[in-house]
Amino acid sequence: DLRTLLAAMSLQAALLSRGDAAGTTLAQVVAAGKKLYRLTARMDGLVGDLLDVARIEAGKVGMETRNRPVEPPLREVVETFRPVAEDRGIALMLEPLAPGIRARFEDGRLFQVLGNLVGNALKFTPRGGQVTVGAQVQGTLVRCCVKDTGCGVSPAVLSSIFERHWQRTPGHHGGLGLGLYIAHSIVEAHGGTLWVEQPKEGGSLFCFTVPRA
C-alpha cells in the first residue's frame, strides 16, 4: 500500500518537473499539488496506523486520560467530516446530548476512534442516507454511538470485524484493514468496550464505552 502511494506521488512529481512543464496551466499545477497533498495525507495515515499497531503489540498504548466533557470531541468529529458527507449526499448529524456529560478519556484518541467509525459509516452509506453521532450516560460508563443507514454488517463476520487486517470489502476502499482493530484496542486501553449492533431497521450501530467522570 505504501509503495502504491509512493509510486503515485513520484508520478505526480515527475509530471510537474518535466521539461515542458512551462506550458502547464496554473489550474493543472494546483490540481497536481492537491493530489500530492491527498497522497501524502493518506500515506501519513497508513504510517500512523502501522505505528499504532506496533505500540499495541508491544503493550505501549498508554493513555493520558482526564475528566473532560464529551460533547466537544463529538461535535468536532461531526464538523470535520461534514464536508465529506455533504459531498456524498449524506446527512451527518450530532444527536442532542444531555447537559453536563463528562467522561475520562484522552481527547486525541477519542477523536481517533470516533473518526474511524464515522469515516467507515460514510464509506458504506449510500447517497441520501444518514449518519448520526451521539452519547448517553450508562451507569458508571458513557456510551458513544455512530449509527448509519448503510448496507450493514453480515452476521457471518460480526465475530471477526475487530481483528487486524479485516476489511468489509477487501481492497475496495484501500487501506490496511487496521482501523477497527486500532479503535478497539484504544477503547480497551481506556477500560471500555467497542461493539457493533444490527438495528432492525437496517444499517449499522457501532458503540463504545469509556469510564464516566
Confidence band for 52, pLDDT divided at 50, 70 and 90: confident
The pLDDT value recorded for residue 163 is: 78
DSSP class of residue 194 equals: E
Residue scoring higher pLDDT (13 or 187): 187
CA distances from 17 to 23, 24, 38, 168 (A): 12, 11, 19, 39
Confidence band for 165, pLDDT divided at 50, 70 and 90: low
The pLDDT value recorded for residue 98 is: 95
Pairing of strands 141-148, 204-211: antiparallel
In sequence order, the 6+-apart residues with CB closer than 8 A to the CB of 121 are: 131, 146, 147, 148, 150, 204, 206
pLDDT in tens, 7-35: 878 887 777 776 555 566 777 777 777 88
The pLDDT value recorded for residue 172 is: 45
With pLDDT > 90 as the criterion, what percentage of the chain qualifies? Answer: 43
The pLDDT value recorded for residue 23 is: 62
Asked if 180 contacts 166 with a C-beta cutoff of 8 angstroms, the reply is: yes
Confidence band for 43, pLDDT divided at 50, 70 and 90: confident
pLDDT at 124 over 60: yes
The pLDDT value recorded for residue 187 is: 92
pTM of the model: 0.75
The pLDDT value recorded for residue 125 is: 95
Phi-psi group of 100: left, alpha or beta (phi > 0 → left; psi -120 to 50 → alpha; rest → beta): left
pLDDT at 175 over 70: no
